[in-house]
Every structure is written in C-alpha cells, then in structure tokens.
Structure 1
Amino acid sequence: MDSLAILALAIILCLSYFTITKTLRRSQSDNQPRYPPEPTSRWPVIGHLPVLAGPELPHRALAALADKYGAVFSLRLGINRVLVVSSSEIAKELFTTNDTAVISRPAVTASKLFSYNFAMFGLGPYGDYWREMRKITMIELLSSRRMELLRRFRESEVRKSINHLFKVIGDNPEIDLKKWIGDLSLNLMLRIIAGKSSSASDGAVPLKFKTAVRELFHYMGMFVVGDALPFLGWMDIGGHQKEMKRAFRELDGYLQEWLIEHKKNRAEKTEHDFMDVLLSVLDGESLHGYDSDTIIKATSLSMIAGGTDTSTVTVTWAIALLLNNRHVLRKAQEEIDGGVSKERAVTEGDIGKLVYLQSIVKETMRMYPPAPL
C-alpha cells in the first residue's frame, strides 16, 4: 500500500511539473515578439548562410524560399536576423508607413570603415545627424535650382567624353562600354562635387582614385565573416578588413588634398562646387560629434559613390537592352530625329519632349533596379 501511494504521488508530481512548465513556456512565448516564418534548414551558429552560398544565384534562392514560406519570411545570417520581403505591396507599406523602422543600414565592417565611422549619412543610423545632412544635401546639391546651375557642367562632361570616345574608336573599334560609362559618371560627379575631372590629361593620380572608388563598390557588396559572426572579427578571415583600410586611406588621401586646396582657394573662386558649399554651410563647426572636415569628406564621398554606381548600372543596362531590341532602338532614334533634329546634340532641355526615351529609362529601372541585392 505504501509503495502504491508513493508511485501515485510521483505520477502526480511529474504531471504537475510538466503542466506548470508548459504554462510558463506559453506565457513567455506570448510576451515575445512574433517573427515571420523562417526556413527549417538553419545550421548552428552560421544560420542560413549556406542557402545563399549555394550554386544557385542568391535572388533565385530567395524567390524559391518566398514560394515556400510566403511573401515575408526571415533568415538567420550568423547571429543577425534578416527580414526578406517579396511583395511590392508590403514593400511599399514598409518604406512609407513604417519607414523609420528600416531606414538605417546594417552597421557592417565596410560601412564603418568607408563612412568615417558613420559620418557618411547614407550609411549611418537614422537620427538628428542623418536628417540634418540629408537636408543640406537636398538643398545645396539636389534642388531644382542647384541642378539647373550645374547643368552646363554635366553637358560639358558628356561632350568631352563623347569626343574622347570618337578618338579612341579610330584606333580601336572594340570599346569596353561599361568602363566608358563608369568613367563618364565619375568625371561628372568629381566635377560637381570637387571641381575635378578624372580625364586622361590629369595623369596617374585620378586613375588611382578611380581604382579606389571601384574597390569601394566591391567591398561594400562583399560578405565579411566578422559581420555575421562578430566573435571572429578580430581574426580578419580572408584579409578583407586590411584591404578595406588600405582602399579607404587611398580615398581619404585625395579627399583631404582636395579639401585643403578648396580652403586655400576659397576666396579667389568665382564658381563654387559642393565642397565649397559645405565649407560655407558648416563654417568650421562640428555637428553631432563629427568635426567639419570629416563631415565634408564623408558627404562628398557619399555623393561621388552614390552618383557614380547607380548611373553606370542604369545606362549600361539601357544600352544593352537597346542593342538586343533593335526595333526599340530604331523607334528611339526616330523620336530624337523628329523632336530634336540631326543637326545638334540632345540637351537636357530636350528630355521633356522625348516621351519614348523616358519610357525606356523607366522600363530599364523596373527590370534592373540600380541597387545591390
């Protein structure tokens, strides 16, 4: 009888333990945020990194996961949780109604090193500094008035690049069009931002700067082990951090040289570029913990990089699509011949009349957005 009583008591205690444990777990899960579903193929420590590192292209791998788990799901890239959105409606709501929740970029190694410790507002966290620098940039560089003032510089650089292209074609009919478009975009941004040009007459120094800018694009899209697994960051697996620091020193050296030159010639200049404008606006004062020199260099680099890469990608894809769809190319040529004439080059003032050409640009950006995955 005693043994039966002990057995019954043990069973009651076990049932009570499991009931209480289950209740506690349920209450804890109710208080925790509900995350979107995530694939079950998650590895310990590294998470879903093997999914993106497989033989399939990343965007196709993500599309396959979206078909299986829905338009919104999450991934674990090392210790980081990532939200994947594959619906235009949800993406629109995310970047309008809930934009402040996703407006900051991840604080990865490349962002920290190339942005002067996040002084580059495009890579820094959302806050007072971000809003202030965005306001200055929109008013002093991207406003309609400023764009009109800079119009002749843009048209001048385009003419110079086309003339150079005709000279090169005479010696060698095979042209790396992507490189030529990239050089044109960089020439244009350097002229607007720093009053410089990376044309061949400037010698080897601009060539080094162009190389460093290309390295910036390369490293900004590179996977660094330390970003997914911070406890391995000190090891610098692959030596990427060392190479990033070298490329940044190269870029900073030129930006510092141009900044000193602008300060020295400030009183004598009649035409002011973006660096001159920033010198006047900041007037040597710090802003949210960053000194004025750092802000000017970081913002200038942000504009140069942002304006160069996106323009190059869009124009390259547009030309590639036109060459592969000759009927579209012919129709665009007919519109230009009819709306502008064959006697002169197209100017920015003509663009408003070229509706079909505008549609080509819009369709190119729809099919191939100028942004990394």
Structure 2
Amino acid sequence: MKKLLQLFIAGIILSAILLYAIQAMNESQGYSGENTLTIYNWGNYIDMDLIKQFEKETGVNVIYETFDSNEAMLTKIQQGGTTYDIAVPSEYMIDKMREEDLLIPLDHRKLPNLNNIDDRFMDLPFDPGNKYSIPYFWGTVGIAFNPELLPNKTFSSWNDLWDPALKNEILLVDGAREVIGMGLNSLGYSLNDTNKQHLQEASQKLETLTPNIKAIVGDENKLLMQNNEAAIAVLWSGDAADIMWENEAIDYVVPKEGSNLWFDNMVIPKTAKNIEAAHQFINFMLDPEIAAQNTEYVAYSTPNKAALSYMDEEMVNDERFYPPPELTEKLEVYKNLGPKMLSYYNDLFLEFKMHPK
C-alpha cells in the first residue's frame, strides 16, 4: 500500500514537472496567451500564406486547428479544453451558440474594414446587427454535372434528378439538412419546414430517388467528379468550383425552385484568451486585397464587396457562383430548428441512407 502511495505521489510530481516544462517551452517560443491567437476553422479553408503575413505584420503567433463539421466544432468549444480565440461556424450554428451563451460580442469599433462587406450579407436573422459574427464566405447548394457523360441532359430543377435514365449516376453530399432540404424544395416546400407531414412526403419522394444514387459521400465527390467516375453531384458551390477548376467539362446550376444560401462567419468564442488579437485578425481578413487573395485560393464566394475589384473578372461575373438578386431571393438560410426537429431530420436522413436500392 505504501509503495502504491509513493508511486501515486511520484506520478503527480512528474505530471506537474511535464506541465511546467510544456508551458515554459511554449512561452519561450512565443506561445503565451498574450502573444498567441488560436484559430478553429474548416479544413483547407484559408490561404496559409495569409496566416504567415498576419504573424509577420502583428508579431502574433497563430495556432491553426481544423474541424470537419459544425457539430464537432460546437462540442470542442462546449468542453472548453482548448482556448480558441476565433472559430468559423455556419449560420444555424451561430444561432445555437448565441442561445448557449458561447460567444463574445464583437467590438465593431475595432473592425473598420467591416464597411467592405456587402449589405446583403449583413444583419441576417441568425445574428441581428452582426453582434457576434462577421461574414467569411457564402455559397449555395446545387447540382454539378458533366455534359460530356450526359449528352442532351440539362438540369434546371431538383426534379430533373429523378429521371430514370440517371440510374446509379448521382453523388449526394453526406448532410441531413442538404438532402432532406433538396427533397422539400423539390415539392415546393421550405428547406426549413417543420411540418412532419411535409417531411414525410419529402422522405418518401427521396426513397424513389435511391436507384439513381451512386453514393453518399464527403470530399470524395470532388475526386470522383474530376476523374469522370460520376456524372452528377449534389454539393456546395465551393466544391463545385474546385471540381470545375480540375475538369473544365463540369457545369454547376442552382435549381429554379430554390436552395440553401449558406454562410460561414468568424466569431470569438467564450473560450478566447486573446480578444484583442482576434479583432485584429478579423479586421485583417476583411481587407479587400487580403479577402481577394483568400477567395481566389478557397474558391468560395466572398461577401467582401470591395474585394471584387481585386479579383479575376471571369470569377466575379460567373453567375453560377455570384448569382443575381432574382435568384438569391429564392434561396434560404438554414434556421436553427432546435434539437428535437434536428434529430427528426437526422432520423429521416439515416432511414434514407439505409434504404435499399
């Protein structure tokens, strides 16, 4: 018993020494709370040269971590183990994080470059007055297709996907809101619909689409489309832009019934230890030339109106990724449906994924 007690005490002492050593090493490398900015973002969602430029201009050391879903990001911030200074959640998650008091209000006086953001993308329902969030990128959900593999086929409606000639041709993004939303839109319903009868109708209609489904995938959709291994994909506009860059035969359309208009925004979580540097970084990313460089790297649509003049005209004038107001008026931002309704959407999506062809 005495030996066990000695081993236990020795373990505590050793842990304390290791913790002190790690803290000392971090401080010697500039990773103290005062001189460090910890960013939590989606994977491959920033030009890393801009991180280096920010560090050089400000003397602030940046720790950059990534997540692959809003839910994973939320869980990490709720746990509070890592002191993230900036995160980049999507619109519906910002609403949820506001409700859970997980965000710090922004000081707009420290964000003079905020004036560069297009008014269309400010003061939206998920964050009135942009009290907690600043637009980073936006885009749509639509249909990417390869005309060379589908001669004489065009796509203007969600219902075009139900063509029996498209058996085993379609890739779907692995997202409940996107797929159930597609089913709802195809019936003329809102993609934020909470009427269970409407949702059951959408679910039943989606079941009839299963013969046409090749796979439900994540990032693999890009490689499959680029290599002509699939002819159609329902995905986000930024992924479509990446595919089209690699395979010029690919086209992209937002269906006429409407679709999702999504936003990823920069926020400062309650875990933040360097609020001053967080504001510095957000303002840095709102600079028109910085935003232009980042947009050309990421290939999603920028909300930074002033950045457009620094970008390639062909990109800016492409209505597939910068649609006119008459189309954007038909698009919907995902609303926070609440845990019960979101669970219902997820259950319907799981049933759809398990449905046999």
Calculate the TM-score normalised by the size of structure 1.
0.28
Higher strand share: 2
Higher helix share: 1
Highest relative contact order (Cα 8 Å, sep 6+), 1 or 2? 2
Calculate the TM-score normalised by the size of structure 2.
0.29
